[in-house]
Chain A
Amino acid sequence: MPASFMPSAQEMMRFLPETLLTLAGVFLMVLEAIMAPENKGRLKAFALFALAAALAAAVIAYNDPGPAFNRLLIIDGFATFFRVLVIGVAILAVLGSSQYLAREGANPGEYWALVLFSVVGQSLMVTSNELIMIFIGLEISSIASYVLAGYLRDDARNSESALKYFLLGSFATGFLLYGVAWIYGLTGTTDLSQIRADLANRDISNSMMMIGAACALMFVGFAFKVSAAPFQVWAPDVYQGAPSPVAAFLSSGPKAAAFAMFLRVFVTAFEPVADRWEPIVWASALVTMIVGNFAALRQTNVKRLMAYSSIAHAGYVMVAVATHSKLGIEAAMFYLAAYALTNLGAFAVITCLVGKGERFVEIKDLAGLGARQPLSAAMLTIFLLSLIGVPLTGGFFGKFYIFKAALDARLIWLTVLGLLNSAVAAYYYLRILVVMYMEEPGDTVENTQEMGGALKFVLVGSAVATLVIGTFPSLLLDVASRYAVLGR
């Protein structure tokens, strides 16, 4: 097929969100350099505007779904759902960061630009239909994330976090790339649909070992990005050391995008060998849930606890991946959206509470929060209940759908062990509740500044959304099931 170097207008439309975000990010960098300091507050509005425009573009692009750029990208329902999700997460993350950055006296302009670049990467990850593009998207997103994790350069914890993230992240990406190379060697293509066709139609019994190894190598890269065991070791250190709003962002958006590409690669390209990789996803899901939940039991640092909680939740989504069924994909979509909302909300409370220089990051610093800040405490209660998975919250139906999908796929033991895990999880979330409402504030002074309007919006907005999808789960599930269409 002769390559046409000039993409059609149709293709450009399909690629519009990424284009907008890239241009806006570059523009932000320029503005940041030339703008008078007193005007820099407007940069946030600009970043939000760009994200909103990209969101609209992502929705519009779905009016005309299909591939772009020689099938490097594919705009299908699945991609659109995750595009909207990651851009939405970024909007909430921007809203939730500004107060923090002002408090720490950090320069916000570059921060917004980095968020936009990270979203470009994520957006590419979820739309890619080809292994090299996936790798490029992943790197764009990751490099921006590494810098964000170390954004407050003078804070040693930030630097340590960024460096660890960078070193280990590069290491794991190496595995991914190696796996891509093997696949190319085996099948002669990096196009997901063609890999699938090749694996399905050719007699592969002789090269099964090589294919398995390639799968395993790519699995390492993906599992690292979603912080699945045994590749989760980086997450606690990185989330704990990174600025709170960055930790919120990293554990919501990039994680969702990483799961999206994970699902796309394994459920489309590697579907023909699903019975081979299912056991490792199964094992990884189980170990991830166990490590996340049991390590969280012992944590005293709130951010570290949330990091382990995010590992545990990644474990539940891995259960959905292990089903490699349409129901499982829907459940994962529902779960990731519900988790992103809950997680951003919970981190909004943490962002406000840690105080300047993040001095109050221990669970005991939450003592008496119910009396000091009834609104934050009440909202955090909703988020914690959702993380536990109590009915009438988004978290409940997230787990419900995942375990239902797992049962439909006859993963009985994984379901049983997963449910047991979620019973254990109640313990450590509940501890926060108890401290908040049932303990006297310690000698920590009234450490919290008044919550700004934007942060309050994030807080209340995500709490309301958590309750709404917990009460009327069909609202989200219908969308998920309509959009759980993987273009091939």
Chain B
Amino acid sequence: MNENAHQLWLIPALPLAGALINGVVGQMRDRAAHAAAHGHGHGHGHSHSHSHSQGHDHGGHDSHAKPDPLVSMVSIGSVLLAFLWVSKTLIALGDLNTAYVERYFTWIASGSLNVGFDLAIDRLSAVMLLVVTGIGTLIHIYATGYMSHEKGYYRFFCYLNLFMFFMLILVLGANYLLLFIGWEGVGLCSYLLIGFYFLKKSAGDAGKKAFIVNRVGDFGFALAMLLIFIHFGSLDFGAVLPKASGVDTGILTAIGLLLLVGACGKSAQVPLYVWLPDAMEGPTPVSALIHAATMVTAGVYMVARSFPIYEGAPMAREAVALIGLATAVMAATIGLAQNDIKKVFAYSTVSQLGFMFLGLGVGAYGAGIYHVVTHAFFKALLFLGAGSVIHALGGEQDIRNMGGLRTKIPWTFATLFIAAFAIAGFPGLSGYYSKHEILLAAHHHAHWMYWVGTITAGITSFYVFRCIFLTFFGEYRGKAHPHESPAVMLIPLILLAGLSIAGGFLGIPHWLEPFFPKMAEGHDAMAGNITTLVGLGGIVLAYLFYVVSPGIPEGIANSLRGLYNLIDNKYYVDEAYDSAIVHPLEHGSRIVLWRGVDAGFIDGIVNGMGGVSRSIGGALRTLQSGNIRSYANWVVLGAVIFLVMLGAAGGAR
């Protein structure tokens, strides 16, 4: 067998090729089609021409646009091929008891730093690869239906394929630098996808927010990477992680906490979660989903990948658990008061990510990854189902204007219903197993964490079913004429429903077991039963509140007005950030720097005086009126400071 027998590079290269083809050929064909349709050339007719349409979600609706079959084929095909290549490789590689690495070339060799362009598969990345390419394929198929009337069809798929490329680099990379490249790359693509409807200001703002919040996280990651390099002399997983146990706890804690900062940004954990709900509100369910199922799990993957570091740094691990728990609670309670169907699922995503972090933090790394997988199934289903509902109602997203849809769009209803049971942890469905593993591990770790987590799980099943009941039960309260979605959208729904049911029987925990450190045995059967009952209780309560006697919630909201407002306003976190960080920053830079440092002016007020000599005289006069002297004073001041620093201080020593 030769060295790089499995050509791992093909896996990311396929979507990259798809992105390039769509970007170049798709655009050319798009322009040609438009030129033909409108009878005049580009400049007006192509994808960027600006016209507002009233559709809530359809910022760039174009009745003339026909989806380019080539674009659909290329984008689905490239991801599907990547999925098949992953499957083929995994079958050929067998049990993967040791990581399989392919080295292509030395990428950076600078002094003591040597980073290769190496890709690797082990048991952990195998799971992630299957999820990313598998779910990714379904999303692509669905998107060809959902986006079929949108302008810039080729552009959307170009971004989507590019996203897959970076995501696969992230998962396959055999060192922290490649992971970081993928990490930044998916961030960039997510910015492009969120801002895809650039006519909608909310989408643009959300994109910007996502990018900036993530920069904070990336800052942590970058520092962690540099620390790792200093103390391990390498960035390769294979060289760093096995040595982690021999390194000083303080350093491991610092690295672990910094990595956690990075993960908090990417995986939307407290306190950096604020971007995700916004990012899911503006754009299509498709891009919302690509985030929910793939990108935001990058943080979970990174922490799980670095588990030897966390094993040596109990404090950092504890921080992971606490942040996860806080996120789960916070997002779940906010979810109670949301009325936008996508926002409900957005907050549930944040909340479920919190559960995954809780799992990692209590040492149940396998359970955390397991939850990534099952969550990918049912959350994908929830989002695609929500998209199908929105599609059916012509852009309506407010669940108060829905109701009674179960007879009108039965397929969508049936699949969404299954997803809701899965996320609520109904026994036998996928979410049940993964969530139970996490909560039982939490029980083992600290009882109070278990209780908080369990109650949060109850809240989760309550608000998800609140959303389902309001959407599908009772009387229809809207004005649109609901119609079932096309088959190309329904097929992924049905497949995902199947996975949401069967996800618990895929043997993922068993597969991951040898990879991660062993958990202490001895599960508390009683704790398991309580979790199940609380989850069911949430569903029953939602049924009572929203189907049997719909007056109750209003009454409760009224009697607990203050609490309700707090939750309704998402704990005022955005406002707090605005007044604590954004405003002071803008104010500070305006007053201190804008007025103090940047006092200059070039405004050409001597304009019109004409003549070279006079204009120089004029310029001189202008200058004398203010600035050049103050500038010179700055220079003198600086010189004095440095003279003192270097001269006097030097002499004193």
Contact = CB atoms under 8 A, between A and B. Distances in A.
Contacts of B649: 212
B451 interface: no
Contact of B646 (A276, A408, A472): A276
Interface stretch (A30-38, A106-114, A153-161): A153-161
Interface in A202-241: 208-213, 215-217, 219-220, 223-224, 229-231, 233-234, 236-237, 240-241
B572 interface: no
A194 B622 CA distance: 47
Interface string B94-120: 000000000000111111110000000
Interface string B217-244: 0110011001001100000000000000
Nearest to B230: A407
Contact of A156 (B106, B203, B226, B609): B609
A224 B590 CA distance: 24
Given A163-B623, A294-B593, A427-B212, A171 B188 contact: no
8 contacts: A163-B623, A209-B650, A280-B645, A294-B588, A298-B589, A404-B110, A472-B107, A477-B108
B563 interface: no
Interface string B363-390: 0000000000000000000000000000
Contacts of B653: 208
Given A168-B628, A298-B594, A419-B219, A236 B600 contact: yes
A154 B615 contact: yes
B602 A240 contact: yes
Contacts of A276: 646, 650
B505 interface: no
B181 interface: yes
Nearest to A281: B642
Contacts of B492: none
Nearest to A283: B645
Interface stretch (B296-304, B434-442, B472-480, B629-637): B629-637
Nearest to B620: A163
Contact of A426 (B113, B211, B642): B211
Contacts of B606: 156, 159-160
Contacts, number: 224
A211 B649 CA distance: 12
A319 interface: no
Interface in A459-488: 472-474, 477-478, 481
B125 to A, nearest CB: 20
Nearest to A298: B594
Nearest to A297: B589
B37 interface: no
A430 B602 contact: no
A233 B631 contact: yes
B518 interface: no
A403 interface: yes
Given A164-B627, A298-B594, 16 more contacts: A156-B604, A168-B628, A216-B647, A231-B635, A240-B602, A279-B645, A297-B585, A298-B593, A299-B598, A391-B181, A391-B184, A407-B226, A427-B212, A437-B195, A438-B207, A439-B204
Nearest to B52: A440
Nearest to B631: A233
A401 B653 CA distance: 33
B627 A237 contact: yes
Nearest to B618: A156
Contact of B589 (A168, A215, A294, A472): A294
Interface centre among B218, B618, B648 (most CB of A within 10 A): B218
Contacts of B638: 220, 223, 229-231
B589 A164 contact: no
A167 interface: yes
B604 A438 contact: no
Contacts of B603: 157
A172 B635 contact: yes
Contacts of A474: 106-109
B570 interface: no
Contact of A157 (B218, B230, B602, B616): B602
Contact of A392 (B49, B181, B635): B181
Contacts of A210: 647
Contact of B593 (A219, A291, A370, A440): A291
Given A163-B620, A430-B211, A215 B646 contact: yes
B422 to A, nearest CB: 36
B208 interface: yes
Interface centre among B48, B216, B586, B593 (most CB of A within 10 A): B593
B195 A438 contact: yes
Contacts of A308: 598
B180 interface: yes
A215 B648 CA distance: 12
Nearest to A167: B628
B581 to A, nearest CB: 11
B188 A385 contact: yes
B643 interface: yes
B223 A434 contact: no
A277 B650 CA distance: 9
B637 A404 contact: no
A415 interface: yes
Given A233-B634, A419-B222, A212 B110 contact: no
B184 A212 contact: no
A371 B49 contact: yes
B218 A213 contact: no
Given A298-B593, A392-B185, A438-B198, A404 B635 contact: no
A172 B602 CA distance: 21
